[in-house]
A = this chain, B = another copy of it.
């Protein structure tokens, strides 16, 4: 400790919000270099290296081979795949001295595809799985929670290449199982959930989420075992209703009813229902949004959904990816005067609204695309805007009085909603995305021309999978789930050391005994951090040890006069007194082979 490059802090760093961030900075594992960009100190380096070693072992165990790609990459391959644009502002872009476009890679599908294309040409070369442990870059709009969402971070990314879908399934399952072993070895609780593929494209993907209240992802699970990221939850579509005896739609004056809450109150007053009062679920809310497409094109759309639900922007964006969605602005409303704020109804939207000729396709289409929540099926009856200030229409029947351009999964998912597979009501929880496995299929191979000759000499497009694991994020999440109010509590196999030897007291005998015990432990293969600071109080040494969180402490102090040293278990708090000559054997026994 006299030479270790580390200084613990008593105070939480000002910008830190979550426990892992506070503690990793205070215990001198990391320091911030810029927003979302961190430097690693010696203690942090050791933890990260141990996690990398575990990930590397499990990747090699399934036959994946390690390679390494540059982080600085030319634009062209990402242009070919469409991601140069699709990534939008998430991508760090730059130019070299010759004005050529480059990017800092957020992930490497394109480069792996091109490398396999460069080297391989036959079905006999497949399958192959490649991985790298590498620095990635994403220009997050809101880097937060320390290492949990950074802009420069380390990932293990791997890619599988197979001749057909059956092969992909095998590679995918091998990776999925390797991930399960990695999570288990890292002591990370996890849930595997169905996910949207987002900017990755591809046909099927699952996320490995670590449940935690500070997570940015929301996921659902049902009693019957359905799990999904909330963005991937599909709404069970009700059967269409018979509307043959539905009353005709009627427009009513509904002054001051621009909010759903007011509308329900007014509706119950101006046109009360016989059997029960109107509720928000009887209203059809039409939400105006602007999509920002990768090419820069903006498109106004309207989402219609039951008035008791809000639009979930993350679900909406997952549904319209790679476009980004933002709330419509005053300018948008000014440019579309048919949209009467607070009173927007289907009358001016979608097929029943103004039509226009699409510049690109030449086909006639709705001037304002109208997309409905899947619950708004044919035959359902609604109170909704009449497109006139202060007026709503009652008993407007979907399929009879209006139609839409399609459906969209944009409504919030709520606890108690039914699972799409009928496995019961959903429960919601939050998690951190630690891993993501994708069945990419032929998306990238097609875009970049990766084909091999099959057994009949025919060129076939290769089928790919892509698999990511957040190394940096794992450090944070392990800290997040392994701490108490005094500091970090590292699992033995990824702790920066196994034993923290503390010399507490003033006699030279204490320091000599502590030093020789530290040396004896190291001779047995035990990793030791020795607090040899001569003029630091026992209290400060204990506090630092608890903050740093090494699993076992060996305290050589006043007890030495009675031939006693103390072994402390950081996690349980248990203390055990042993004779100095028995300490090494006892610690080796406690540590076992697990930590070494």
Contacts and interface: CB of A to CB of B under 8 A. Distances in A.
Interface in A30-73: 31, 33-34, 37-42, 45, 48, 63, 65-73
Contact of A139 (B73, B96, B130): B96
B71 A45 contact: no
Contacts of A7: 119-120
Contacts of A66: 42, 45
A3 interface: yes
Interface in A66-95: 66-74, 89, 92-94
Nearest to A137: B72
A543 interface: no
Interface string A23-35: 0000010010110
Contacts of A33: 69-70, 73-74, 111
Interface in A102-131: 102, 104, 111, 115, 118-120, 128, 130
Contact of A38 (B70, B94, B128, B152): B70
A4 B60 CA distance: 12
Nearest to A75: B34
A9 to B, nearest CB: 10
Nearest to A128: B5
A41 B28 contact: no
A89 B33 CA distance: 24
Oligomer: number of copies? 2
A68 B37 CA distance: 12
A3 to B, nearest CB: 7
B73 A71 contact: no
A119 B5 contact: yes
Nearest to A64: B5
Contacts of A135: 71, 135
Given A33-B69, A68-B45, A71-B152, A39 B119 contact: no
Contacts of A70: 33-34, 37-39, 152
B93 A130 contact: no
A67 B94 contact: no
A42 to B, nearest CB: 5
A67 B93 contact: no
Chain A interface size, under 10 / 10 to 19 / 20 to 34 / 35 or more? 35 or more
Interface in A453-476: none
Contacts of A4: 65
A273 interface: no
A6 B118 CA distance: 10
Interface string A312-355: 00000000000000000000000000000000000000000000
Contacts of A128: 3, 5
A360 interface: no
A561 interface: no
Nearest to A66: B45
Nearest to A74: B34
A276 interface: no
A94 B74 CA distance: 14
A141 interface: yes
Contacts of A92: 72, 94, 96, 102
Interface in A423-449: none
A68 B40 CA distance: 5
B97 A139 contact: yes
A121 to B, nearest CB: 9
Contacts of A63: 3
A425 B225 CA distance: 84
A21 interface: no
Nearest to A69: B39
A151 interface: yes
Nearest to A91: B97
A414 to B, nearest CB: 33
Contacts of A37: 70, 72-74
A97 B151 CA distance: 11
A527 B287 CA distance: 64
Nearest to A150: B70
10 contacts: A4-B65, A5-B119, A28-B119, A31-B118, A33-B69, A37-B70, A40-B67, A45-B68, A70-B152, A104-B104
Given A37-B72, A72-B104, 14 more contacts: A3-B65, A6-B119, A7-B120, A33-B111, A34-B74, A34-B102, A39-B67, A39-B69, A39-B115, A42-B65, A45-B66, A48-B68, A71-B152, A104-B104
Interface of A: 3-7, 28, 31, 33-34, 37-42, 45, 48, 63, 65-74, 89, 92-94, 96-97, 102, 104, 111, 115, 118-120, 128, 130, 135, 137, 139, 141, 151-152
